[in-house]
């Protein structure tokens, strides 16, 4: 499909620069088939069935944004994907100033050697020393806010908590699974009281999620790989939900992409521990997922293509028009939507 088919006009004042407080006070657009209704995140348990199961991503965002120097030249790095114990692939600002073999000093005693420039422009950074890289990043890094927020304000102490979900356990993401940012203990209590199930899996979200689609046709776009994991016990419980007639409701596009990567043609979810670069566009046949809770996405983004595949492009265009006209807040710190295909 042509990428321009997924374009829409979004006023800049719709981009949320801070989350609402409390987290579960956000609005939620409910799209069921082709029907659209204004709801709130706290309404979620009332919109699902007791046999359904919410599936969360328990990845934890690391302080993956680094500022350093190669000699006199300033260099910015956003870590993208772990490739070894001390090796991370990174997108580099002022990348032309960095050559293979250069040492970059990020301050606080944190240095890395640059190597292996890839076709996508990313560079491999090998961190020096014996301290765990996670410890080094805690000293020298900052939270990697999405560019549509970072370009409008600086990162501050509040973001260390605001840009982390209540489910965050497994360190390795450089972007938050933002659909889960709306959840609180109060909301979880309501979900449990309604008899709705909960499961977690792990997909370490990479910085590639924010990269623009630069081709004219979706067939020519190459997705970046991200590491995901579903253990055997979790896979068995997820399959049991579907056997009982329940729906797997992915909380976030990251959870959805991992579920679909782990499912076979019959919708059976298998244990999974590998990279996935699944790219979901209209025409894709969903195997395992029966619904999606997600925030609002960028025009012409792979994520807007994904939700259009789930609900249909005309439906999502109408839903986004409704959200924009109704003052919904967009993107990572914005409001939510619950998308349930007909049935």
Peptide bond into 156 cis (omega under 30): no
Domain residues for 90? 65-141
Looking at 106, 141, 176, which one is the last position of a domain?
Answer: 141
Question: 249: domain CATH number?
Answer: 3.40.1780.10
Q: 150 lies in a domain?
A: no
d(CA 341, CA 324): 21
Q: 51 and 71 in one domain?
A: no
Mean pLDDT of each 10-residue bin along the chain, 343 residues long: 95 95 97 97 98 98 93 90 92 84 95 90 93 94 90 90 96 93 98 98 84 87 90 98 97 98 97 96 97 97 96 98 97 97 80
- 128 and 225 both lie in a single domain: no
- 35 plus 118 within the same structural domain: no
Q: Do 189 and 315 belong to one domain?
A: yes
- Indicate the pTM of the whole model: 0.93
In a domain, 35, yes or no: yes
Q: Is the dihedral of CA 175, 315, 318, 48 positive or negative?
A: negative
Whether 152 maps to a domain, the answer reads no
- Residue 39 in any domain: the answer is yes
Of 263, 276, 183, 268, give the one whose Cα is nearest residue 227.
Answer: 276
Count how many domains the chain has.
2
163 token code pair:
């840009």
In order, the DSSP letters of 204-224 are: ---GGGGSPP-SSBGGG--PP
Instruction: Please say whether the beta carbons of 337 and 28 come within 8 A.
Output: yes
Are residues 227 and 286 both part of a single domain?
yes
Residues 71 and 55 in one domain: no
315 and 330 inside one domain: yes
- The confidence score (pLDDT) of residue 26 equals 98
- Copy the structure tokens of residue 340: 């349930």
Q: Residues 193, 53: one domain? A: yes
Is 244 found in the same domain as 107? no
**CATH for 133:** 2.40.10.240
Please report whether residue 148 resides in a domain. Answer: no
pLDDT at 210: 65
341 neighbors 291 (Cβ within 8 angstroms): yes
Burial class (CB in 10 A: 0-12, 13-18, 19+), 35: exposed
Q: How many CB atoms lie within 10 A of CB 23?
A: 18
> Read out DSSP for 264-310?
-TTS-B--EEEEE-----TT---SSEEEEEEE---TT-HHHHHHHHH
The pLDDT score that the predictor gives to residue 343 is 62
Please answer whether residues 299 and 6 qualify as being in contact, where contact means their C-beta atoms are separated by less than 8 angstroms. yes
104, part of any domain: yes
- Domain co-membership, 310 together with 333: yes
Q: Do 112 and 77 have their domain in common? A: yes
Angle between helices 302-311 and 253-262 (to 10 degrees): 70
Query: Is 151 a member of any domain?
Result: no
């Amino acid at each position: 499909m042509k990428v321009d088919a997924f374009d829409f006009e979004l006023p800049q004042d719709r981009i949320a620069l801070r989350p609402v407080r409390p987290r579960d006070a956000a609005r939620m657009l409910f799209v069921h088939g082709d029907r659209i209704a204004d709801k709130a995140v706290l309404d979620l348990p009332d919109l699902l069935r007791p046999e359904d199961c919410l599936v969360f991503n328990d990845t934890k965002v690391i302080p993956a944004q680094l500022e350093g120097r190669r000699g006199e030249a300033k260099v910015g790095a956003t870590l993208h994907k772990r490739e070894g114990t001390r090796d991370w692939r990174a997108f580099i600002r002022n990348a032309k100033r960095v050559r293979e073999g250069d040492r970059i000093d990020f301050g606080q005693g944190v240095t890395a050697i640059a190597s292996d420039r890839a076709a996508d422009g990313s560079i491999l950074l090998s961190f020096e020393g014996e301290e765990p890289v996670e410890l080094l990043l805690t000293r020298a890094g900052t939270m990697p806010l999405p560019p549509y927020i970072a370009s409008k304000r600086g990162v501050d102490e509040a973001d260390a908590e605001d840009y982390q979900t209540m489910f965050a356990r497994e360190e390795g993401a450089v972007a938050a699974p933002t659909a889960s940012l709306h959840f609180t203990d109060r909301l979880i209590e309501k979900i449990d009281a309604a008899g709705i199930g909960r499961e977690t899996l792990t997909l370490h979200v990479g910085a590639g999620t924010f990269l623009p689609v630069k081709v004219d046709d979706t067939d020519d776009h190459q997705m970046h790989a991200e590491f995901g994991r579903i253990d055997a016990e979790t896979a068995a419980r997820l399959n049991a939900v579907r056997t009982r007639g329940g729906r797997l409701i992915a909380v976030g596009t990251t959870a959805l992409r991992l579920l679909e990567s782990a499912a076979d043609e019959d919708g059976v979810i298998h244990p999974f521990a590998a990279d996935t670069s699944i790219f979901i566009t209209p025409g894709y046949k969903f195997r395992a997922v029966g619904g999606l809770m997600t925030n609002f996405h960028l025009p012409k983004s792979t994520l807007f293509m994904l939700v259009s595949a789930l609900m249909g492009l005309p439906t999502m265009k109408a839903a986004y028009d409704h959200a924009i006209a109704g003052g919904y807040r967009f993107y990572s710190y914005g409001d939510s939507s619950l998308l349930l295909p007909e049935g």
